[in-house]
Amino acid sequence: MSVNTLPTPQKPWKTTNRQRFSTALLIVAAALISLVIIGSTGLNGKLGFLSTLFITSSLLIFIQQWRLRDKAAAKDSLLSSFALLGMIMTVIPIISIVSTVVIKGYKGIHIGMFFNDMSLNSVNDPIKQGGLLHALVGTIIMVGGALIISFPIGVLTALYLTEIRGKLSRPIKFLVQAMSGVPSIVAGLFILSSLVYPVTKSLSGMMGSLALSILMIPTIARTSEEMLRLIPSELREAGVALGGTQWRTVAGVVLPAAKSGLVTAIILGMARIIGETAPLLLVSGGGDSINLNPTSGAMGSLPYYIWKAFLTGGTEEAFARAWGGLLVLLAFIFILFGLARFISGRRVS
């Protein structure tokens, strides 16, 4: 038996503390230089400082890399800096929006709001009175209704584009793309003029669902189409070669393989419409009391609740109420996304 001489696992490719220290030194130096530049020129404010800091630190790291290694490494470091900048520019607005909503909204949150509606209260009442149950219920009913209408239509459209590949594929694809650019107010006006005025003659949650569907179908159709295109054609061939008809192959092989992609399509579709205010104002109005019947009567929604509190109030309470509503809407969207990730993540790859 030989002596156990197992080497300890190491990661020689990792950045060493020494390298980290020198980079940190460079950034501190860049910060000092930026302060000097800010002090001696007309630039000022946080934004001025941050942009100067970015430029000087990128330059310093560029020079350092050039001296330590070569031109290629220096260019590499410059590209890394820009990638970092891009990342920061994406993340900062998101963090800023979420943190603003959380900070301003949590004052408007109390447990009672999930059990009460606004039928007996005005937006200017103390925040502990009334609630947004009616808006939450209305949003769930209308978005759920829109989903029930849009999901089959959207997926069938995607199947036409990817599986049947008929002569109309190109024009339909173009139409679907064009439709995803339809302004939401147009969807509302369309339902208003084609159904509400001539047929039902009254506002209702179902009309809201229909208007939202117009916005949701293109998103679901396009996302499902992309997801179905990711399914390798070998799987379709295998299904057909086993004696399946095209429809059974689609139902038994293609759609199950695309399951997580279809869940993504649903989530993106819901995210597209959940904050829509304009079409709902037109066709489902906005109630202040709970309405569980989507076929008749005005129906409230979270965006309407927020809109009303911001616009018709004016007091501290009304603003707190609006921010609270925003926080609930945001949380609702996050929960949806989390749920979708959870469902689609259970797939075995």
In whole angstroms, the minimum distance from the beta carbon of 143 to other proteins comes to: 28
Q: What are the tokens at 174?
A: 């173009």
User: Which CB sits closer to other proteins, 59 or 235?
Assistant: 235
Token pair 């679907």 in the structure block, residue: 176
In whole angstroms, the minimum distance from the beta carbon of 160 to other proteins comes to: 15
User: Which CB sits closer to other proteins, 177 or 245?
Assistant: 245
User: Which CB sits closer to other proteins, 26 or 172?
Assistant: 172
User: Which CB sits closer to other proteins, 128 or 347?
Assistant: 347
In whole angstroms, the minimum distance from the beta carbon of 241 to other proteins comes to: 4
In whole angstroms, the minimum distance from the beta carbon of 168 to other proteins comes to: 15
In whole angstroms, the minimum distance from the beta carbon of 233 to other proteins comes to: 8
In whole angstroms, the minimum distance from the beta carbon of 252 to other proteins comes to: 6
- Report the C-alpha gap between 109 and 128 in whole angstroms: 9
- Do the Cβ atoms of 132 and 113 come closer than 8 Å? yes
User: Which CB sits closer to other proteins, 206 or 257?
Assistant: 257
User: Which CB sits closer to other proteins, 239 or 287?
Assistant: 239
Return residues touching other proteins (CB under 8 A). Answer: 165, 232, 234-245, 248-249, 252-253, 256-257, 259, 347-349
